[in-house]
Structure 1
Amino acid sequence: MEFQPYAIVNGKKMRRGFTTGSCAAAASKAATMMLIENRDIHSIEIDTPRGWRITLPIQQIERSSNAVKCCVVKDGGDDPDATHGIHIYASARLIDKEGIVIRAGEGIGTVTRPGLQVEVGQPAVNPVPRQMILKEVGEVLPKGKGVEITLSIPEGVEVAKKTFNPRLGISGGISILGTSGIVEPMSEEAWRESLALELSMLAAAGHKNVVLVPGNYGEQLAIKSLHIHKDIIVRTSNFIGYMLEKCVEYGFEKVLLIGHLGKLVKVAAGIFYTHSHMADARAEIMTAYAAAQGADWDTVKELLNSNTTEEAVQLLEQAGITGIYGMIARRVGERCRQKSGCKLQVGTVIFTLEKGILAMDDTAKSILQELKQCE
Structure 2
Amino acid sequence: MTGQEGPALRYGWTTGACATASTAAAYTALLTGTFPDPVEIVLPKGHRPAFALARERLDAGSAMAAIVKDAGDDPDVTHGALVSATVRRAEPGAGVVFRAGTGVGTVTKPGLPLPVGEPAINPVPRKLIREVVQRVAAEHGGTGDVVVEISVENGEELARHTWNPRLGILGGLSILGTTGVVVPYSCSAWIDSIRRGVDVARAEGLTHVAGCTGSTSEKLVERTYELAPEALLDMGDFAGAVLKYLRRNPVPRLTIAGGIGKLAKLADGHLDLHSKRSQVNFALLANIVGDAGGSAEFTHRVRNANTALEALTLCQEAGIPLGDLIATRARDFSLTTLQGAPIDVEILVINRAGDLVGHAPFEQR
Q: What is the TM-score of this pair, normalised by structure 1?
A: 0.89
Deviation (angstroms), 1:181: 0.5
Q: Offset of 1:30 from its aligned partner? A: 0.8
C-alpha deviation, 1:305, in angstroms: 1.5
Matches within 5 A, 1:74-223: 74-98=69-93, 99-141=95-137, 142=141, 144=143, 146-223=145-222
In structure 1, the partner of 2:274 is: 275
Q: Distance in 2 between matches of 1:318 and 1:157?
A: 49
Deviation at 1:145, TM superposition (A): 5.5
- Residue by residue over 1:59-112, the C-alpha shift from the partner in whole angstroms, topping out at 9 and shown as x without a partner, is 322121232211111111111322111111112223441433332222211111
Aligned to 1:371: none
Aligned residue type for 1:326: D
CA distance in 2, matches of 1:29, 1:318: 66
Task: Please state how far the C-alpha of 1:23 moved relative to its aligned partner.
Answer: 0.7
Paired AA for residue 168 in structure 1: L
Please state how far the C-alpha of 1:5 moved relative to its aligned partner: 1.0
SS in 2 for 1:51: coil
CA apart distance, 1:276: 1.7
Aligned to 1:340, which of 329, 334, 338?
Answer: 338
Distance in 2, matches of 1:276 and 1:50, equals 32
Quote the offset at 1:52 in angstroms. Answer: 1.4
Q: Specify the SS of the correspondent of 1:47.
A: coil
Residue number in structure 2 paired with 1:297: 296
CA gap of 1:298–1:44, structure 2 versus 1, over 3 A, is: same
Bigger shift: 38-47 or 70-79? 38-47
Q: Residues 269 and 285 of structure 1 are in contact (CA less than 8 Å); yes or no, is this contact kept in structure 2?
A: yes
Closer, same or farther: CA 286–31 of 1 in aligned 2, 3 Å: same
Paired residues of 2:63 and 2:87 also in contact (CA < 8 A): yes
* 2:30 partner amino acid: L
Alpha-carbon distance change, 313 to 31 in structure 1, aligned in 2, over 3 angstroms? same
Does the CA contact (< 8 Å) of 1:19 and 1:74 recur in 2? yes
Aligned equivalent of 1:26, options 13, 21, 37? 21
Compared with structure 1, are the counterparts of its residues 349 and 157 closer, same or farther at alpha carbon in structure 2 (3 Å cutoff)? closer
Given the two structures, how large is their TM-score scaled by the length of structure 2?
A: 0.91
Give the Cα separation in 1 of the matches to 2:91 and 2:325.
Answer: 71
Shift of 1:266: 1.6
**Compared CA separation, residues 153 and 357, structure 1 to 2 (3 A):** closer
Secondary structure of the structure 1 residue equivalent to 2:121: coil
- Which moves more between the two structures, 342-351 or 77-86? 342-351
In structure 2, C-alpha distance between the alignment counterparts of 1:154 and 1:304, rounded to whole Å: 52
Alpha carbons of structure 1 residues 38 and 355: separation in structure 2 relative to 1, 3 Å: closer
| 2:32 maps to 1:37 | yes
Instruction: Give, in angstroms, the shift of residue 143 of structure 1.
Output: 5.5
One-letter amino acid of the counterpart of residue 342, structure 1: G
What amino acid sits opposite 1:61 in the alignment? Answer: E
Q: Partners in 1 of 2:207 and 2:125 — Cα distance?
A: 31
2:247 matched to 1:245?
no
For residues 160 and 234 of structure 2, the distance between their equivalents in structure 1, rounded to whole angstroms, comes to 18
SS at match of 1:61: strand
Q: Is the 8 A contact 1:283 1:304 kept in 2?
A: yes
Contact in 2 for aligned 1:218/1:260 (Cα 8 Å)? yes
**Per the alignment, in what secondary structure is the counterpart of residue 7 of structure 1?**
coil
Q: Unpaired runs of 5+ in structure 2?
A: none
Q: Deviations over 1:8-43 (max 9, x none)?
A: 3xxxx1111111111111111111112212223211
RMSD (Å) for aligned C-alpha atoms: 2.0
Q: Is the 8 A contact 1:211 1:257 kept in 2?
A: yes
Q: What amino acid is the match of 2:221?
A: A
**Offset of 1:253 from its aligned partner?**
2.6
Asked if the contact 1:262–1:282 (Cα under 8 Å) also holds between the matched residues in 2, the reply is no
| CA–CA distance in structure 1, aligned partners of residues 135 and 123 of structure 2 | 19
Q: Which of residues 55, 79, 91 in structure 1 aligns to 2:50? A: 55
Give the 3-state SS of the residue equivalent to 2:362 in structure 1: helix
Worse-matched range after superposition: 148-157 or 347-356? 347-356
In structure 2, C-alpha distance between the alignment counterparts of 1:241 and 1:260, rounded to whole Å: 16
Give the total of aligned pairs.
358
- Residues 341 and 144 (structure 1), Cα distance of their counterparts in 2 relative to 1, 3 Å cut: same
Q: What percentage of residue pairs aligned between the two structures are identical?
A: 31
More deviation in 143-152 or 296-305? Answer: 143-152
CA distance, structure 1, for counterparts of residue 131 and residue 250 of structure 2: 35
**Is the deviation greater in 182-191 or in 149-158?**
149-158
